[in-house]
Structure 1
Amino acid sequence: MTNPRRRQLLLALISLVTVGSTALVTAAGRVPAPTPEAWVATWAAGLSAAGATGKSSAGFAGQTVRMFVHTSVGGEKARVRLSNRFGKNPLTIGHATIALPFGPNSGPGDLKPGTIKDLTFFGQREIVIPVGGYAASDAIDMQVPANEDVAVTMYFPGETGPATFHVSARETAYFGPGDHSVALTGAGMPETSNSWFYVAGLDVLNRNGKGAIAVLGDSITDGFKSTINADNRWTDYLSERLNKQAPEGKAPGVLNLGMAGNRTGVDGAGGLGVNALARFHSDVVAQTGVHTLIVQLGINDIWISKDTANNIIARLQQLAAQAKLAGLKVYICTIMPWNAYSSAPDVINYTPELDSIRLTVNSYIRTGSDFDAYIDLDAALRNPAEPTKLRPEWDSGDHIHPNDMGNEAMAKAVPLDLLL
C-alpha cells in the first residue's frame, strides 16, 4: 500500500509541474484552441423504392451514372452520403467521384478540369452497402461553392437490382456502359434520366456552423413544373435569399426533402415514396446539422385521399410533436389554392367541398400553437380576385404547381428572421 505522506508529496509535485507549464505557455502567449469542425448538410433528397418500370426498376449493371446536385451553403471539405435503403440486393460501388460541372457552354454531363476527386470509404475505393444500409464517404479537401451544382459519378460493376432513388430530380442524370468515373466528358454516358439514384446527401465542412433547415414537402417543394436544370425550386430561391442576407458564409443550409405525391399518412405508389410521418426520422432527423423543419404538406391528402380535415390536422400535430422531441424548431406552411387543378386531360380534381377541407386546415394552421410559427403561402400566392386560385402569373398551367416565378414568390413569403 502507498504511504499516505508519500502520496501527498507526489500530488504536490505534479501540481507544481502543471502550474509551471501553464506559466510557460502564458508567458510565451497562450496556444489558441483548435477551431472546431462543423459539418452541415448542403443538399439532401428524400428517397423511395424503385418504380414499377423505368431505370429505377431495371437498375444498373456495368454502368456509370453521373448526377448533379445543387448546393445551398459552401465549405472547404465534402463528403457524400449514400443509401441502399430500399434495395433488394447488396449495392457494390466500384468507383465514385465528386467534381464541379464545366459550365453552360460545355457538353452534356461534362466536368471542370482539375476538379475530379475520388470518393473513398475508410480509404477504400470500392464499397458494398448492404440491403437497407447507408454509407458515408471519407472527407475530402474540396472548395464547395454555395448555390452551385456539384457532380457525383458512380460506377456499378455488377447488377444493382431495383434502385433506391428520387423520382423527380428536375436535374438531368447521364448514364452509360463502362467506368466513366473520372471522365471529363459525358459523351460515354449518352442515356439520360430525370432522377437521382442512391445519393442521399452532400455534407460540407463549414466552420461557421450555422446548421441546416429541412423542408419536408410534396411535389410543390420538389419543384414539379419548375424548369429542369435551372434550380428554380422555391428552396433554391430561399437559399439564395439567406446567403445574401446573412453575413458572408454564415447562412444555414437548406435541404429540399420534397417528394412528388407525398401525403401525411398514406404511402405513394410507383416510386412516390412513403408518407411523411414514416420518413420523418430517415429524411429529416438524420440530416447533418439540422436544427429547423419547415412542413409543406396537405394538398395530396385532400385531392388524392379525400381525407378529413381532422385526420390531416392530427397527423400535422404528430409531425410537430416528433420534431420537438428531436429538438427541432418547426414551422408550417398554409396550403395554397388549387381551383381548376387537372391531374389528367379532361379531369378536374378540384371541388368546393374538397376545398373546404383546405380552408379548415389553414384555419388550424393560422390559429393553432402546435408549431413555432407558420408561413402563409396561401395568402402570398392566391389571386386576390379569385382567392381559390393561384395568381395567373405564377401558375404553371395546371393550377396547383407554381412556375419559376411562383417558386420565387414562395421563397419571398418566408420571413427570414425565422431562419437567421
Structure 2
Amino acid sequence: MRPVRTLASLSILALAAALAGAGAAAAAPAEAATAVRWTAAWSASPQRPSANFTPNWSEQGFANQTVRQSARVSLDGVAVRIRLANTYGTTQLTVTSATVARNAGGAAVRPSSVRRLTVAGASTFTIPTGAELASDPALLPVKALDSVTVTLYFAAPTGPATYHAQAMTTSYRATGNHTTDTRATAFTESTASWYYLAGVDVIGAACGRDGVVLFGDSLTDGYGSTPGADNRYPDELAERLAATGHPRAVLNQGIGGNRMTVDSAWLGHKATTRFPRDVLDRPGAGTVIVLAGINDIGMSEARQPLAAPYTEVSAAEIIAGHRELIRQARAKGLRVIGGTMPPMKGSRYYTPLSEAKRDEVNTWIRTSDEYDAVIDFDRALAWSADTHQLDPAFDSGDHLHLNDAGYRAMADAVTIPDLG
C-alpha cells in the first residue's frame, strides 16, 4: 500500500508557529519540529465496495454529489487533518471540494466552524488508486468526544467507492456542491455507511504514542448498539478514559463479519493481512486490543452467501493467527492485549463443535502468557445461569451481538493499567 502523503517539514514548522499564536505553548524554532505531533483520534477500516448487510452507495459511487459524514474524536486537539482512502478504487479519485466543521446535529454544521480542506495547498486534489492521503492541517480546535463533520464534493464520477459498511450512524448525500452549506436542507438522502473517510488526526498537548487501537469484528465495530448514539465498545472506552481527566486516543478498527484467517469480498481482508494498515500505520498507536476469531468459528458452521468463501477453520489455525498479530505488533513496539471471545450459545453460530473451538482458543488466550495482558470479555459478558450464553441484560437479541449495556460492560472489562 502506498504511504500516506503529509506536509513537508517546513510546513510543519509554519503550523507550529500558527498553533503557538492560537494559544498553544510557544516553541523556539529549533524545537518547533518536535512540538508538532499528529495522533489519530478517530478511524475506520476501509472496505471493498459491496452490497453488504444494508443498502449503501459504495458500488455506484458518486457524480456531481456531496457526501456529508460525521465522526466523534477521542482526543483534544488544536488542529485536525482528515485521512481519505481510495484503497479499493478502480481509478484515481478526484475530490473537487472538501470541508471540515463541528457537527450541529444530523447533516447541519456550526457556521463559524467550517474550514476548507486542502492538500499541498490545493482545494481540489487527487488520491491515487490504492492509496490513502492526509489533508493539510485545518485550524479547528476540538475536544475529546466532539463530533466533526467532513463534507466531500465529487464533480466527476468516482467509480466504486472505498467505504466502511457498518458506521452505526447516518451519513448524508446531496446533488451538487454543498460543501460549505451549514444547513441540512440539501442533504435529502441518507445511508448507514462511511465513504472514503479513514481517519481524523489531531495535534494537541496530549498527543503522543499512547493511543489504543481496538481491532476485531462486529463486536468491535459496534453492531447491535443504538445507531447514532456512539455506544459502541470503543466509544464507551473513550468516554471512560476521558472521565479520568486524561483522555487517550481510542481507535475503532473493527469490521463486521471479519475473520482472522479468511479474506472476503464483503467482510474485509483477513485480520493478519489488514493489521499493518489498520493498526501499525495509525499515528500515535501504542497499544492494541485484539478480539478476533468468532467468525472463523461460526462461519465454519453456519454457512451463508456473505461468508464466501466457505472455509473450515480449526482452533489451531485461529491461535496461529493470534500469534502472527502478536509478532507484528511487537515488531513495531506496540503493547498487545488479547480479548477472549464472548459466549454465543443460542446464536446461529452455536454447535458443540464451535463451542469446543471457542473454549480452546479462549483457554489459550488466558493461559499461554503470549499476550502482554488479557481482557476476559467471555467472563465479563457471560450469564451466571449458563456461562455459555450471553447475559440476557447484554444481549441485542441474536445471542451473539451486544446491546448498549453489553458494549458498556466490554469497556468496563478493560483494566486501564493494562493499557500501559
TM-score (norm 2): 0.87
Q: Which residue number corresponds to residue 227 of structure 2?
A: 228
Aligned positions of 1:293-332 closer than 5 A: 293-305=288-300, 306-332=312-338
Q: Residues of 2 paired with 1:72 and 1:181: CA distance?
A: 24
Whether 2:48 is the aligned partner of 1:46: answer no
Aligned positions of 1:16-415 closer than 5 A: 36-52=35-51, 54-103=56-105, 108-211=106-209, 212-245=211-244, 248=245, 250-270=246-266, 272-305=267-300, 306-342=312-348, 349-415=349-415
The one-letter code of the counterpart of 1:365 is I
- SS across alignment from 2:71: strand
Matched-pair contact (CA < 8 Å) for 2:56–2:192: no
Q: Residues of 1 paired with 2:242 and 2:86: CA distance?
A: 32
Q: Residues of 2 paired with 1:130 and 1:202: CA distance?
A: 19
Q: Residues of 1 paired with 2:29 and 2:262: CA distance?
A: 57
Deviation readout 1:194-241 (Å, 9 max, x if unpaired): 100001110000222343111111001100010000000011110111
Q: Residues of 1 paired with 2:264 and 2:80: CA distance?
A: 32
Q: Which residue number corresponds to residue 20 of structure 1?
A: none
Question: Offset at 1:122?
Answer: 0.9
Question: Offset at 1:95?
Answer: 0.5
Q: Residues of 2 paired with 1:369 and 1:210: CA distance?
A: 28
Amino-acid identity (%): 41
Matched-pair contact (CA < 8 Å) for 1:210–1:252: no
Question: Offset at 1:63?
Answer: 0.2
Q: Residues of 1 paired with 2:208 and 2:407: CA distance?
A: 24
Paired residues in the alignment total 377
Structure 1 residues 321 and 31: CA distance shift in structure 2, 3 A: closer
Q: Residues of 2 paired with 1:210 and 1:132: CA distance?
A: 28
Q: Which residue number corresponds to residue 3 of structure 1?
A: none
Matched-pair contact (CA < 8 Å) for 2:338–2:374: yes
The one-letter code of the counterpart of 1:126 is T
The one-letter code of the counterpart of 1:236 is D
> Mind listing any 5+ residue stretches in structure 1 that lack a counterpart?
1-29, 343-348
Matched-pair contact (CA < 8 Å) for 1:63–1:176: yes
Question: Offset at 1:419?
Answer: 2.0
Q: Residues of 2 paired with 1:31 and 1:321: CA distance?
A: 39
- SS across alignment from 1:144: coil
Q: Residues of 2 paired with 1:323 and 1:54: CA distance?
A: 33
Matched-pair contact (CA < 8 Å) for 2:259–2:271: yes
- Larger Cα Rg: Structure 1 or Structure 2? 1
Matched-pair contact (CA < 8 Å) for 2:144–2:247: no
Deviation readout 1:262-288 (Å, 9 max, x if unpaired): 111101233x21111110111111111
Question: Offset at 1:371?
Answer: 1.0
TM-score (norm 1): 0.87
The one-letter code of the counterpart of 1:67 is Q
Q: Residues of 2 paired with 1:57 and 1:184: CA distance?
A: 28
Matched-pair contact (CA < 8 Å) for 1:381–1:409: yes
Q: Residues of 2 paired with 1:332 and 1:311: CA distance?
A: 16
Matched-pair contact (CA < 8 Å) for 1:99–1:151: yes
Q: Residues of 2 paired with 1:362 and 1:180: CA distance?
A: 50
Structure 1 residues 317 and 32: CA distance shift in structure 2, 3 A: closer
- Runs of 4+ in structure 1 off by over 3 angstroms are 30-35
Matched-pair contact (CA < 8 Å) for 1:165–1:197: yes
The one-letter code of the counterpart of 1:281 is P
Q: Residues of 2 paired with 1:152 and 1:33: CA distance?
A: 32
- SS across alignment from 2:229: coil
Matched-pair contact (CA < 8 Å) for 1:261–1:268: no
Question: Offset at 1:54?
Answer: 4.0
Q: Residues of 1 paired with 2:262 and 2:168: CA distance?
A: 24
Q: Residues of 1 paired with 2:247 and 2:110: CA distance?
A: 26
- SS across alignment from 1:55: coil
Q: Residues of 2 paired with 1:54 and 1:66: CA distance?
A: 14
Matched-pair contact (CA < 8 Å) for 1:73–1:253: yes
